[in-house]
Amino acid sequence: MAPPEISIVVPVYNEEENLPLLAAEIHGAMRPLGRPYEVIYVDDGSTDGSPGVLQELAREDPSTRVIRQRRNSGQTAALDAGFRFARGGIVVTLDADLQNDPADIPRLLEAMDEGYDVVSGVRTNRRDTFVRKASSRIANRVRNRLTRDNVTDVGCTLRACRAEYLRGIPVFTGMHRFLPTLLAMAGARKTEIPVNHRPRLHGQPKYNISNRLWRALADLFAVRWMQKRWIDRRLSEEIDAWNTSLSGTPGPPSASSARPSSSAASSSSGSPPSGTSGASSPGPSGT
């Protein structure tokens, strides 16, 4: 079977009531596009009826795959597992709890078609408690200040990204909160679009302020450290001894010829086509 163009990756931890509706909404959004896709549910060691529901969904639909984490390892590890199993050139992520709206996926893909490598959703009408909204506003501000980035809503998991970039970034627990920044370090051109957000109707949220805040803060310092120590692999290129002129400074590939290919060494450092970009491509200064 030819590999799909798009892989939709959904981390699942005890979401049995949400899954049937989520699956229907994903197919409802994707089928009209006529682009080959797969849906990968990563069961993160659920202890409710989610494994049975997922098995049923995969039996009903050949484009649906289920990956199982042998024990609960957290949302980041689940996402990473999905990335490793994904076969599509574009990976879309969203939560399983129906807070993200699959109807937004076609617009994420449109932005990808404009030439971006990562498109992040921004929850304009966020449907969470006041405390959650306020704390993430502060967290976003602190995070952007320290990482010198401008990610508006890093807590929004609804995103689309070129798979090759996902394979070139460091993996650690908590990574998903820094994904756009890490991808930009790897040379991805990023943008954001407003997306819908809905209240959680079934199941329990898995995070609270205290288990999120301190870890996220520790991760923040780690990411800042990584930015300073980042090795830019895009600088390496093989010399053709007969056809390369050594006079003049070798520059980065021009924006027009810089469509990233599957090789990590040839990704772009050009600026994005337009829009609310924030590609903070790490400069050669090694700041």
| Exposed e or buried b per residue across 206-226, where buried means at least 16 C-beta atoms within 10 angstroms of its C-beta | beeeeebeeebeebbeebeeb
Nearest to 93 by CA among 196, 162, 188: 162
- Supply the DSSP string of 166-181, one letter for each residue: HTTS---TTGGGGHHH
Nearest to 102 by CA among 159, 172, 34, 36: 159
**Nearer to Mg ion by C-beta: 95 or 149?**
95
Q: What is the DSSP letter of 235?
A: G
Residues 187-216 binding ligand UDP (CB under 6 A) are: 205-207
Task: Output the smallest distance, CB 209 to ligand UDP, in A.
Answer: 11
Alpha-carbon span 257 to 279, nearest angstrom: 18
Q: Tell me if 153 contacts Mg ion by CB under 5 A.
A: no
The H or E element spanning position 140 is: helix 130-147
| Residues in 139-178 that interact with ligand UDP by CB under 6 A | 155
User: Does the footprint of ligand UDP cover residue 75 (CB under 6 A)?
Assistant: yes
Nearer Cβ to Mg ion, position 43 or 97? 97
Q: Total binding residues for Mg ion by CB under 5 A? A: 3
Smaller CB distance to ligand UDP: residue 31 or 127? 127
Neighbours of 201 (CB within 10 A): 11
Task: Determine if 12 is a binding residue for ligand UDP (CB under 6 A).
Answer: yes
- 87-116 binders of Mg ion (CB under 5 A): 95, 97, 99
In the complex, what is the shortest distance from the CB of residue 9 to Mg ion, in angstroms, rounded to a whole number? 15
Binding site for ligand UDP (CB under 6 A): 11-13, 15, 44, 72, 74-75, 78, 95-97, 99, 155, 205-207
Binding site for Mg ion (CB under 5 A): 95, 97, 99
